Amino acid sequence: MSWLPSPSTARHLFYGVLIGFSLSIASTSVISAYRKRKEDINTANVGSRPIELRSDEILDGVTGLIDGSAHKGNTPLLRINSLSNALGVEILGKAEYLNPGGSVKDRVALRMIEDAERDGLLHPYTGSRIFEGTVGSTGISIATIARARGYDTTIIMPDDVALEKVKALEAFGADVERVRPASIYVNLAREYALHFTGMNTPGQSEALPRTGRAHSYATKMAAPSVAVTAVAGMNGNGSGNENGNGHASFDEDEETRTRPRGYFADQFENRSNFDAHFTGTGPEIWRQTNGEVDAFVAGAGTGGTIAGTGQFLKSMTGDVLVVLADPEGSGLYNKVKHGVMYDHKESEGTRRRHQVDTVVEGIGINRVTKNIELALPVIDDAFRITDAEAVSMARFLVQRDGLFLGSSSAVNLVACVKLVRKMGWGNGEKVVTILCDSGTRHYSKVCTLDFGWRLFSELIVWLQRQ
């Protein structure tokens, strides 16, 4: 039995195994207890998580809140329950009114200013001023971003827009000039930018050439024979080096760079308008719907939203329908349906005080802008929406969905209903539209009108019974 260990060795071996087994059990228990404690911390409050610092959740000022920027994700797609349930489809509204400036125009304003800075046309905190002609939302967006970026703003707008928009602009310190409703307010913004730059350019004073184009580049004011548009955008006719955005860029010395200049944003003709939606709104909608979009419906004021978003969605799938929602008095409906920019209200003896005389603000136009030129090839259909339909829809949404939306959003949703009925859809098709802004900007106009929202409510009840 010499192979058996001595009693002393056996005892030591036994103690070693026992100690090893005890340590194994102890370490396993400690690890399990640690994991359980960590899980308890993570689930202590429903939906909470451990406190941690994440740099990707720290946004770069107010511009970081604007969807489509490099710092943020998406505005949500909101299912309009009442309409979706009634029609048997998915009516999805992109909630652009959640942007910090309160509208879809935040995207455009941010892109225009960023492109201008990138191209050397604007420099922050130099006393420079941004000029724009607008019915309100774009001006508010520009004023919001300009204040955050160190610019002053001058907004020219018709005197019949909702007073809430004027008050919002004034709150941001914008200089607001209200003029009689006419297309001239855009031209005034261009001329003011020209004048402002000339006053801050040595040797120019007020002796400025009136070429009909805004010489808003301070470095080019000394050479009036060179025509430079305020945004050097669509036409690519800016002097200097053309970059990938179609904007002009050029080198400046320090004295010129810090000189105050006027910049005419020109949302109607500025390619940045289109780009903001082609690279922002369109891709967001595509991701949020998992690439399942049957139709995209939008109105057009400048044309940038429907052009940029429509072109992107068409590039991803040719099956998506791009549909225009056009208010009374606008000529775009006839342009899409008949190839002629015309509205019966423009006929001799019937034209009213405004070319788009309607309670709806922000959409509708009677000229073809550069952004609309980009939209026309992708628009498949169009619907004309009356004031009564728009106001009725706005009030219906408050009553049925608790959504207080602006008049342009209501126009878009009426067009969605008309499209679904025309196509005979009712099998869960997805129709996406833009919820442009909130109804809080339209109290003084839409909320004082009585077109009888019950008529539209009765229509939806009838649809539910079919």
Strands (E), 372-442: 381-385, 430-435
Give the dihedral sign, CA 315/65/58/112. Answer: positive
Residue in the structure block whose two tokens are 């509208």: 103
SS3 96: helix
Output the DSSP codes for 252-268.
Answer: --HHHHTS--EEE--TT
CB 284 within 8 A of CB 278: no
Cα gap 336→68, rounded to integer Å: 29
Phi and psi, residue 401, nearest 5°:
-120, -5
Strands (E), 72-139: 77-79, 90-95, 129-133
Q: How many residues does the chain have?
A: 466
Q: How many CB atoms lie within 10 A of CB 6?
A: 8
Choose, from 94, 105, 220, 335, the residue flagged as catalytic.
Answer: 105
CB 374 within 8 A of CB 307: yes
Closest residue by Cα to residue 392 from 460, 465, 345:
460
Cα gap 231→246, rounded to integer Å: 9
Closest residue by Cα to residue 83 from 435, 381, 324, 439:
435
CA end-to-end distance (rounded Å), the chain: 97
Residues ≥6 apart with Cβ < 8 Å to 359: 387, 390, 391, 407, 445, 446, 449
Question: How far lies 411's CA from each of 34, 46, 407, in Å?
Answer: 58, 40, 6
Closest residue by Cα to residue 276 from 308, 303, 306:
308
> Active site includes 105?
yes
Cα gap 412→407, rounded to integer Å: 9
Cα gap 369→417, rounded to integer Å: 28
Alpha-carbon radius of gyration of the chain = 30
Q: Which two tokens stand for residue 43?
A: 């689930």
Cα gap 281→311, rounded to integer Å: 11
Q: List, by residue number, the catalytic residues.
A: 105
